[in-house]
Chain A
Amino acid sequence: MPVSAIEFRDVSFSRPGRAQVLDHFNLSVEGGDVLALVGRSGSGKTTLLKLVNRLLLPDAGAIFVEGRDTREWEPIPLRRRTGYVLQDVGLFPHMSIADNVAVVPRLERWSQARTDERTRQLLELVGLPAQQFATRWPDELSGGQRQRVGVARALAVDPPVLLMDEPFGALDPMTRAELHAEFRRIQSRLRKTVIIVTHDMGEAFALGDRVGVLDAGRLVACDRPEEVAASAHPVVRQLLDALPSIPHVSRRT
């Protein structure tokens, strides 16, 4: 059996003074797959991502990235091999767009020429021509453009794993649909192992090769989208019923 790219084995995690976030949680993601995790606010989605790149360590159980326990990984190399797109984008406001994208290459001490070339490529990839955008500043961009920069920044050193935390949550429906299409186009070329978390079942169905449903620290379903759509589990049904008949701008969690 091939080693899963990311695997959660019997993971428990709690924050002091709060309810259990993850409770004997199991999950595996195959290389090149996109797993879309859906859950309500506070269901532990962000925690789950932070456990993968060792921003957090589990109370019990273990998380394996490329077959290696996160406790054994040095945190810095692990994080540089793991692209991370944050819920709030988190672009560095004091850096130009090009500098934002070039953060990790610079940390990795790439040559200036290689960094410039890579930055240009990435900006083209996410649909922001370098000529036009490289020297601009984050606060001059629209929300959708900033999200694209966030994706480009996460992909900068070509990490095998990409973690995305509600990446399109704050966007208007048109931009969202556009970015969903962009994401599928980019993913068809790059074949990254992706975990994307969202509170929107529609988005999960649009992006995931597989869809997982989180509830009270456990995975109540994890399967191909059509199987999940057919599930009779009450939590899954509830999330499915919440799907609007026409898309609308969801509120951020």
Chain B
Amino acid sequence: MRRLIEFWIAHRVELGALVGQHVLLVVASTLAAAAIGVPLGIFASRRPRLASPLMAAASVVQTVPSLAMFGFLLPVPLVGGVGARAALVVLILYAILPIVRTTVAGLRGIDPAVREAGVAMGMTPRELLRQVELPLALPAIAAGVRVAAVVGVGSATIAAAIGAGGLGEYIYRGLSMVDTTVILAGAIPAAALALLVDASLWWFERRLSARRRAGSRRIVTAAAITAAAAVLLSSGVAARRDRGAIVVGSKNFTEQLVLGELLAQTLERAGVPVDRRLNLGGTLICERALISGDIDVYVEYTGTALTAVFHQPVSNDSASVFDTVRTLYARTGRTLLPPLGFNNTFAILVRGADARALGLRTIDDAARESPRWRAGFGYEFVGRPDGYPGLARAYNLKFPQPPRVMDLTLTYRALAAGQVDLIAGDSTAGLIKGLDLVQLEDTRRYFPPYDAAAVARAEMLLRHPEVRAALESLSGRLTAEVMRSMNYAADVEHRDISAIVRDVLARPAPTIAGTLPSKPS
């Protein structure tokens, strides 16, 4: 708890900004969803035959996992891409359903005698809607907006996956660093925000049902104007992009955050303005963002590019893989820069205690134990051709149960906690050292090489030769040892990533080799 408060105090400016972004995302998306959902609900209640397919469609949208939704939206012009705009679109899509549903319920729940009285008084359909139906359905609509907003506070944490900011940033950062304090630093304010939104909208709802006709109409008008303003404002914010800046991206795990920061600081040291879009959802999202031009450069691993991006058969030769991938990138308008120096291949990991007790050294040794073990893998590893299925064949692994699938960064914890007995991690992971894990040797050379190298938009490199020069200066400078110690400093010692990178870059090139000084404590 003390660490948490210290974290908040140390990051108070950032925390304030993230809360602000979070609130803006929720407010703008909820109001926009109301602006769309209420008319849609009115329409649906008028045409019952259209209502059920409409509701079904809205329900289906809501069951699509948000990360998958970002994946779908990325290549779509105007609404897609990386950043607040795409996040807003997804949040709006999620918020529409509860609002449409309660609007329909509110309108259908009106006493037919009251509606008939309105018609018999000689109200036109518009007058009936404005003077009778909407005011009477308003408490129900307000309840729907409240549900949408509270759900939105939760959903908005996912916006961090596509670089839209918000409190999800701490949650993702904490997850990738396996640091509960950082997770809580984001999760607690998000939960508090949800409660606050719930309470304040509940109060608003009660005021609405307090039967002040003129008053409530004024409140609704004010809300509509605020909605329009917020949406305009946020779309303006979303559309704004620093024209001159080079956008650096990264995937959402510690090493990628470190590498993203490394690229960014290297460029900044060369006098190039940088816009950081770190912590993006994963390979797919980085790849699409690079194609769409939402980011200019990020670090990819050759083996990942070969199989996950270009769907080529696995190869074990480091140089030929690099050449193949560079050619494939060149054909699609991207340039693969020289390797940074380390190979982050998959590491089959077991607990150090098991390794010592059972004398485990290679993956073959683990295959012997596998009938008594349980494996745990990240989502990517289970699905990739160079992942689990091939590994099981190559080493004749025979786990009695299918592997447990979970977030990659959680597998280290699950292994250390004894929930699983074998995982596939990254060979450069700092947690290997931090959690006393042992990497088993890949004696059959199953895993393809995963040499880290920056991949950039070719068109951007042509316009900015200084960017190319700065990025090429990193060539071969990061050994596996350097990478692992940077990861260790971030994951285990919980040091600030930008400080870690600054220390490494401060050392004279080209000899960055060697370990980092430990955190003074």
State in angstroms the CA–CA spacing of A39 and B451 once bound together: 92
Find chain A residues with CB under 8 A from B6 CB. Answer: none
Q: Is the CB of B117 within 8 A of A107?
A: no
Contact of A86 among B120, B122, B124, B135 (CB under 8 A): B120
Give the B interface residue count (CB, 8 A). Answer: 19
Q: Is the CB of A87 within 8 A of B113?
A: yes
Contact of B113 among A53, A89, A96 (CB under 8 A): A89
Q: Is the CB of A92 within 8 A of B120?
A: no
State in angstroms the CA–CA spacing of A76 and B128 once bound together: 12
Q: Is the CB of B119 within 8 A of A92?
A: no
Contact of A93 among B116, B124, B136 (CB under 8 A): B136
Q: Is the CB of A53 within 8 A of B120?
A: yes
Q: Is the CB of B213 within 8 A of A84?
A: no
Contact of A94 among B119, B124, B211 (CB under 8 A): B211
B127 contacts A by Cβ under 8 Å: yes
A120 contacts B by Cβ under 8 Å: no
**For chain A, what secondary structure do more than half of its interface residues adopt (helix, strand, loop), or is it mixed?**
mixed
Contact with B along A56-94 (1 / 0, CB 8 A): 000000000000000000011111101010111111111
Find chain A residues with CB under 8 A from B127 CB. Answer: 107
State in angstroms the CA–CA spacing of A91 and B118 once bound together: 9
State in angstroms the CA–CA spacing of A183 and B118 once bound together: 23
State in angstroms the CA–CA spacing of A53 and B118 once bound together: 13
Which of B120, B135, B213: most chain A CB closer than 10 A?
B120
Tell me whether A79 and B117 are in contact in the complex, defined as CB-CB below 8 angstroms, given that A94-B211, A95-B213 are known contacts: no
Q: Is the CB of A86 within 8 A of B136?
A: no
Find chain A residues with CB under 8 A from B114 CB. Answer: 90-93
Contact with B along A6-34 (1 / 0, CB 8 A): 00000000000000000000000000000
Find chain B residues with CB under 8 A from A84 CB. Answer: 117, 120-121
Q: Is the CB of A86 within 8 A of B116?
A: yes
Q: From residue B26, how far is it (CB to closest CB) to chain A in Å?
A: 29
Q: From residue B138, how far is it (CB to closest CB) to chain A in Å?
A: 8
A141 contacts B by Cβ under 8 Å: no
Find chain A residues with CB under 8 A from B135 CB. Answer: 94
Find chain B residues with CB under 8 A from A78 CB. Answer: 122
**For chain B, what secondary structure do more than half of its interface residues adopt (helix, strand, loop), or is it mixed?**
helix
Find chain B residues with CB under 8 A from A79 CB. Answer: 119-122
State in angstroms the CA–CA spacing of A86 and B114 once bound together: 9
Give the A interface residue count (CB, 8 A). Answer: 27
State in angstroms the CA–CA spacing of A94 and B427 once bound together: 67
State in angstroms the CA–CA spacing of A77 and B114 once bound together: 20
Find chain A residues with CB under 8 A from B111 CB. Answer: 88, 90, 93
Contact with B along A97-132 (1 / 0, CB 8 A): 001000110010000000000000000000000000
104-138 of chain B: CB within 8 A of chain A: 111, 113-114, 116-124, 127, 131-132, 135-136
Tell me whether A107 and B120 are in contact in the complex, defined as CB-CB below 8 angstroms, given that A95-B213, A99-B213 are known contacts: no
State in angstroms the CA–CA spacing of A53 and B122 once bound together: 9
Q: From residue B282, how far is it (CB to closest CB) to chain A in Å?
A: 50
188-223 of chain B: CB within 8 A of chain A: 211, 213
Q: Is the CB of B122 within 8 A of A55?
A: no
State in angstroms the CA–CA spacing of A89 and B132 once bound together: 15
A205 contacts B by Cβ under 8 Å: no
State in angstroms the CA–CA spacing of A75 and B132 once bound together: 19
Which of A76, A88, A90, A104: most chain B CB closer than 10 A?
A90
Find chain A residues with CB under 8 A from B124 CB. Answer: 76
Other A-B pairs beyond A55-B120, A79-B120, 12, CB < 8 Å: A79-B119, A84-B117, A84-B121, A86-B113, A87-B113, A93-B136, A94-B135, A95-B213, A103-B121, A104-B121, A107-B121, A107-B122
26 contacts between A and B (CB under 8 A): A53-B120, A55-B120, A78-B122, A79-B121, A79-B122, A82-B120, A84-B120, A87-B113, A89-B113, A89-B117, A90-B113, A91-B114, A92-B131, A92-B132, A93-B111, A93-B114, A94-B135, A94-B211, A95-B213, A96-B211, A99-B213, A103-B121, A104-B121, A104-B122, A107-B122, A107-B123
